Chain A
Amino acid sequence: MKAILQAEQISKTYQTKTARHEALRPTTLRVHEGEFVSIMGPSGAGKSTLLNLLSTIDQPTDGSILINGADVTAMKEKQLARFRREQLGFIFQDFNLLDTMTVRENIALPLSLANVDKKMILERVDRVARQLGIYDLLDKRPVELSGGQKQRTAAARAIIHDPSLILADEPTGALDSKSATGLLEAMQSLNNEGATILMVTHDPMTASYAERILFVKDGELFKEVHRFGSQKEFFEQIMEVQRELGGAVRELV
């Protein structure tokens, strides 16, 4: 299987006036085409740091990241921006929808930036919106939507341009369990249709929708768990690792 994401020995050190903080120790990880991977870990473990590096929003102190064969650590700002909008799709905890635009326009944005023909854009938006069950909301504006609807809009925006990789940071963080389930099921079906997804979460329930989970602790990859069998079994397995993790933390103290 082709590796969509290939991070080699990436690390991140935050340098403040008074102190150096190694938020991420040298880490190597791979995500293959069509995978649904989740990153878990306690608060402050470096999950967001890792995701920001992988999503090119932040630059690693060391190491290299290849996405779809392209070395993003060597790119300039302009190239990166272009790369992000063509190759990546984002779902953020706080939605990050533009309140000045309708749902349709929000979803259309990545295609519009790529200067796709208007007719084609509208067709694609309709299709994706149907897929995510927000077709009836297309002419509304984000303020008129519920959290779950907003996040599905964000998901639609993340996949509209067929990105090689979809990155999600706590996508269910602001949702109630029903909306969260709706979104995760939608993400799972996107994954079944071939989308590659990398998701950060601290919620075991959310993580159990993935097929592989990377546990991060103190800026390091701590453990990797693959899903075998049902989602319920997977969930139990995750809880088990979390206990282990928590214990490890307690040991440290």
Chain B
Amino acid sequence: MSLSKLAFQNLKNIRQNVMYLGAVTFAILIYYTFLAIRSNEAMLQANELYGKLGTVFTGASVILALFSAIFIWYSSDFFLRRRKKEIGLYALLGLERGQIARLIFLETMGYGVIGLILGIAIGTVASKYFVQLLASVMAMQVDATFTISGASVLQTIGVFLLIFLIIALRSARTIYRFTLIELFKAEQQAESLPKVHPILAVLSVVLIGVGYYLTGQPLMDHFTIVAPLLMLCVILGTFGTMSYFTIFLLRVLSNQARHFKGTNLILHGQLLSRIKSNAVMLSTITVITAVTLTTVGTATSIYYFIDQTVEEQVPYSLSIASKQSEAEQLIAKSDQKIDSRTMVNVKNVDHQMTDLPNPLTFTRYYATYAYEDQPGQFSYVNYSDYVKLAKANGKTVIKEPKQGEAIVLETFKGNDLLKMKIKSPVGVEIKDVHESFRITAATNLPIAQLYEKQRLAFVVNDDTFAKMPEKGFTLTNYQFSDERHDDGLMKQLTQLYGKQADTEMAAYYPVYTMTTATTGLLAFAAGFLGLVFLLATGSIIYFKMLAEAEESKQRFAIIQKIGVDEKEQTGIIRRLVGFVFSLPYVLGLVHSLVAMQVLQKLLNYNIVRPTLLAIVCYTIVYLIYYIVTVRAYRRIVT
């Protein structure tokens, strides 16, 4: 029989290798689906933004390809180990090692080709549903159909043939290096006992601690230095913890009285013998878990709060600074009704920005929103207008400031500098070019949503306002009956204002659609990657544990003979697998919780709920993997 025939014969023996083929197909399926979503015609036509955001997808697809490579690497390793004995038999039957290596090479490529066909076929179906899901998170109307994208198919084939080529070469090389005796002793000798390095163990944990501590520091100021340093600390600490601290911990456990209780002896021995070769995998998975949870947590949080964010940035359906009657004519002709109209008189007054009193120094940031040639201005509104605004926004009305007093209005909720930087500016004196005010209260109320017109605003009583010599101008804020819908009004308004459309008007609708689409796409990409990472990390542990099970068959046969019953064996397996699953899960979770703590501060939302959702999903899938792995392990060793 020729080699290729033998290889083909082995390929047909699919039942035995269904796990491997499944893994390969899965990786290809994900990759192709992702590419297919990205190049989906319907999506590209429906939203030009979608095309522009392609970079998000391109970046993600590179990560996916790398990930697939690692993933297939691990699963093929398991596949090879499992077949060591069979390969040994070929050698005994007189096949040369070179021939066997070629056989393995052909087989690996064969599985690659089958995986490609299956993956692309299933991917074509899957991508349709993913496109629909994506369209719905982006709030778009898209009719997704089954389409095969030629470019995506080619790219998938190219990338994966390369991956398989590398892996097939590596497998062939491994075979080539095995000696006959090694092939027959499919069970490897236990690795030598790992040395304990207590100092490195403690140092690793300390490194993580330092990383955590750094997140509590004012990040914004030295972000470019602190952030990489912090990441480095945490990543190094993680690798150290998995390599040294776990050994340290197990050795400490071995010195306890509990070591000699029941099956603990067997468990600790098994764990210790594997920990060295598992350390890199466990740390990698920890880091991936942390990144995934953080990314998914962040993306879901942002998406979850999208309405709130837009509402805060653009509280009115429309704000305009001029051409009021023309604009209202247009609105009247459209199918929108004006629910409310709030007009505010504003006077911009020059301020000496250089010697602002301490709690207000942050307001220099506000000046950056102004034109370069008009820095150092604050806005003033009178109390009557303030009352109208407060009522229109459903805020409690603060009582009127007296002569020489002012209420400060924080106008950008999203930035919320007021809350972050200072407790309260109340009691502080501010001075403009004419007079000075003592701040009696602070509240959050946008006077309009026109960035160009916005300054930090002060409310003074009507008399004081009237006496101010600056020329006033009127800002009009509208609330429409249905601001999330547009029948062309936005376009007409933009035409009306022409060149001044950016400075004289600001509407809710374009911001809303744009933000929803962007964050929806981001959330989708993050969710998709998160799901893939989750499945891949779970599968990597799964395969690694099964490879371990194959090598531990003999040990379980021994303890069975000595009189460890099935229930106790299952107990050992549960704890064994549980240890390997929970280490990266717990540490990764803690990492991401710390990271999200920072995020919470930056976003200034309570992100507990979306984060919890992400964590719960993650945990459930992980648990399922755990159960499946325990079962498969048990099936192999008993």
Looking at A92-100, A126-134, A222-230, A236-244, the stretch in contact with chain B turns out to be A92-100
Chain B contacts for A88, CB-based, 8 A = 563
B269 close to A84 (CB less than 8 A): no
Q: Are A98 and B264 in contact (CB under 8 A)?
A: no
The closest CB in chain B to the CB of A142 belongs to B190
Stretch at the interface among A62-70, A103-111, A189-197, A198-206: A103-111
In angstroms, how far is the closest chain A Cβ from the Cβ of B181?
15
Given contacts A81-B563, A105-B269, A113-B564, contact A99 B190 (CB under 8 A): yes
Q: With a CB–CB cut-off of 8 A, which chain B residues contact A121? A: 260
Q: Mark B260-286, 1 if CB is under 8 A from A, else 0.
A: 111111100110110000000000000
B259 at interface, CB cutoff 8 A: yes
In the docked arrangement, what's the CA distance between A122 and B254, Å? 13
- Tell me if B193 and A113 are in contact (CB < 8 A): no
The answer to whether A143 has its CB under 8 Å from any CB of chain B is: yes
Q: Which residues between 116 and 143 of chain A lie within 8 Å of chain B, taking CB atoms? A: 116-118, 121-122, 141, 143
A57 to B562, alpha carbons, bound, how many Å? 9
In the bound complex, what is the Cα–Cα distance between A85 and B262 (angstroms)?
Answer: 12
The reply to whether the CB of B566 lies closer than 8 angstroms to some CB of chain A is yes
Nearest neighbor of A120 in chain B, beta-carbon distance: B260
CB distance from B529 to the nearest CB of A (A): 38
* Minimum Cβ distance to chain A for residue B276 (Å): 12
Asked if A249 is at the interface (CB within 8 A of a chain B CB), the reply is no
Complex contact A109–B257 (CB within 8 A): no
A110 to B262 CA separation, bound complex (whole angstroms):
9
| B 226-270 to A, binary, CB cutoff 8 A, 1 in contact else 0 | 000000000000000000000000000000010111111110011
B561 in contact with A108 (CB, 8 Å): no
> How far, in whole Å, are A85 and B190 apart by their CA atoms in the complex?
24
Task: Kindly identify which residue among B192, B262, B561 contacts A90, using a CB–CB cutoff of 8 Å.
Answer: B561
Does A251 touch B at the CB level, under 8 Å?
no
A116 to B265, CA, bound (A): 13
Asked if A18 CB lies within 8 Å of chain B CBs, one says no
A98–B272 CB distance below 8 A: no
B426 interface residue per 8 A CB criterion: no
Counting chain B CB atoms within 10 Å of each CB, which of A86, A101, A110 scores highest? Answer: A101
Q: What's the A-B contact tally at a CB cutoff of 8 Å?
A: 91
CB of A205 to closest CB in B, whole Å? 26
Contact (A81, B262) CB under 8 Å given A98-B269, A100-B555: no
Please give, as numbers and ranges, the residues of chain A lying within 8 Å of B224 by CB-CB distance: none
**Hey, which chain B residues are within 8 Å of A111, CB to CB?**
260
Quick check: is B558 within 8 A (CB to CB) of the other chain? yes
With known contacts A98-B555, A141-B193, A143-B189, A112–B564 Cβ distance under 8 A: no
Check B565–A112 contact: CB distance below 8 A.
Answer: no
A30 interface contact, C-beta 8 A: no
Chain B: minimal CB distance from A15 (Å)? 22
Contact A86-B563, Cβ < 8 Å, known A100-B190, A100-B555, A118-B259: yes
Q: Is the CB of B558 within 8 A of A96?
A: yes
The verdict on B121 contacting chain A, using a C-beta distance below 8 Å, is no
| Interface flags, A204-232, vs B, CB<8A=1, else 0 | 00000000000000000000000000000
Residue-wise, chain B 557-574 has the 8 Å CB interface mask toward A (1 for contact) of: 111111111111000000
Task: Indicate which residue in A78, A84, A117 contacts B562 across the interface (CB closer than 8 Å).
Answer: A84
- Among the listed A86, A109, A115, A118, which residue makes an inter-chain contact with B266, where contact means beta carbons less than 8 Å apart? A109
Nearest neighbor of B261 in chain A, beta-carbon distance: A115
A80-B260 Cα distance, complex, nearest whole Å: 22
Which of A57, A86, A99, A141: most chain B Cβ within 10 A? A99
Among residues 51 to 75 in chain A, which have CB atoms less than 8 Å away from a CB atom of chain B? 57
In the complex the two chains form, what is the Cα distance from A100 to B566 in whole Å? 20
Residues of chain B within 8 A of A100, CB atoms compared: 190, 266, 269-270, 272-273, 555
- Which residues from A are CB-within-8-Å of B568? 81, 113
Given the known interface contacts A105-B269, A121-B260, A141-B190, the answer about A78 and B558 at a Cβ–Cβ threshold of 8 Å is: no
Q: How large is the interface on A (under 10, 10 to 19, 20 to 34, 35 or more residues)?
A: 35 or more
Complex Cα gap A214–B259 (Å): 42
Contact of A83 among B261, B272, B559, B563 (CB under 8 A): B563
Residues of A within 8 A of B557 (CB): 96
Chain A nearest CB, measured from B192 CB (Å): 8
Task: Return B322 CB to nearest CB of chain A, in Å.
Answer: 81
Please tell me which one of the listed residues A96, A108, A113, A118 contacts residue B257 in the complex, with CB atoms under 8 A apart.
A118
Instruction: Assess the A85–B260 pair: CB atoms within 8 A.
Output: no
Across the two chains, which residue of chain A brings its CB closest to B557?
A: A96
Is A176 at the interface (CB under 8 A from chain B)? no
Known A-B contacts A121-B260, A143-B189; A90 and B565 likewise in contact (beta carbons under 8 Å): no
**Nearest CB of B to A35, in Å:** 22
Q: Is the CB of B563 within 8 A of A105?
A: no
Q: Is the CB of B262 within 8 A of A113?
A: yes
Known: A96-B558, A98-B266, A143-B189. A113 touches B563 (CB 8 A): yes
Q: Is the CB of B266 within 8 A of A101?
A: yes
Q: A112-B264, A113-B263 are in contact. Are A101 and B269 (CB under 8 A)?
A: yes
Chain B residues numbered 506-561 whose CB sits less than 8 Å from any CB in chain A: 555, 557-561
Beta-carbon nearest neighbor of B266 in chain A:
A98
B190 touching A143, Cβ below 8 Å: yes
By a CB distance below 8 angstroms, the chain B residues around A90 are: 561-562
Q: Is A77 in contact with B565, judged by CB distance below 8 angstroms?
A: yes
Q: Which one of A81, A98, A105, A116 contacts B558 once the chains associate, using CB atoms below 8 Å? A: A98
A111-B266 Cα distance, complex, nearest whole Å: 13
Which residues of the other chain, A, contact B272 by a CB distance below 8 angstroms? 100
- B563 in contact with A84 (CB, 8 Å): yes
The distance from the CB of B376 to the nearest CB of chain A, in whole angstroms, is 74
Cα distance A86–B563 in the bound complex, in angstroms: 8
Cα A82 to Cα B262 with chains together (Å): 12
Most chain A C-beta atoms within 10 Å of own C-beta, residue among B260, B559, B565, B568: B260
Contacts known (A77-B566, A78-B567, A143-B190); A101 close to B561, Cβ less than 8 A: no
Minimum distance in angstroms from A125 CB to a CB of chain B? 10
Q: Closest Cβ of chain B: how far from A42's Cβ, in Å?
A: 25
Q: A100-B270, A115-B262 are in contact. Are A85 and B563 (CB under 8 A)?
A: yes
The interface residues of chain B lying within 8 Å CB-to-CB of A80 are: 563, 565
Q: How far is the CB of A179 from chain B (nearest CB, A)?
A: 21
B261, B263, B561, B565: the one within 8 Å of A96 (CB): B561
24 of the cross-chain contacts (CB-CB < 8 Å) are A78-B567, A80-B565, A81-B565, A81-B568, A84-B563, A85-B562, A85-B564, A86-B563, A88-B563, A96-B557, A96-B562, A98-B558, A100-B273, A100-B555, A108-B265, A109-B266, A109-B562, A110-B563, A111-B260, A112-B260, A112-B265, A113-B262, A116-B260, A118-B259
For the complex with contacts A96-B562, A100-B266, 10 further pairs of A-B residues with Cβ separation under 8 Å are A57-B561, A81-B566, A84-B563, A98-B558, A100-B190, A110-B562, A112-B262, A113-B564, A118-B257, A118-B259
The 10 closest A-B pairs by CB, nearest first: A85-B563, A81-B565, A84-B563, A100-B269, A101-B269, A100-B273, A99-B190, A118-B257, A118-B260, A96-B558
